[in-house]
Amino acid sequence: MSTYKHTIQYYETDKMGITHHSNYIRFMEEARIHFLKEAGWPYDKLEEEGVISPVVGVTCDYKKTTTFPDELEITVAVLEVSPVKFKLSYTMTVDEKIVCTATSTHCLLSKEGRPISIPKQYPGFYEMLTQAKVQ
């Protein structure tokens, strides 16, 4: 998968000129949507099939600050896959220096809110996650 790129915008910084910490969660979502699209499972396709994928956990470890107009590069990897959830990792860099590492954990739910067995109901999606998993 290719690296997702995000240019830090001025409005994403705080009074000190540093990217506000809450924006990194948004950057993760942008990168996750990009990852799914490149993997052949765009999020809008999942939603059209009546599937939602809520975040059930998130971690974010800030290593260095970023500022406007840094170009943030985000690499997404699959860390864990089970029949009911999956965990992604995010490595965020500026000029090849790690500025943040993070994870997000997701499950799949029907639009009625019922858990979905990924390998049973979406075997192609499960296979993609399993093949993309970091060894």
Enclosing H/E stretch for 28: helix 23-38
In sequence order, the 6+-apart residues with CB closer than 8 A to the CB of 63 are 98, 99, 100, 101
Q: Is 44 a catalytic residue?
A: no
Catalytic residue among 14, 44, 70, 95: 14
Question: Which residue from 76, 2, 93, 81 is spatially nearest to 32, judged by alpha carbons?
Answer: 76
> What is the C-alpha separation between 52 and 133, in angstroms, rounded?
21
The residues assigned a catalytic role are 14
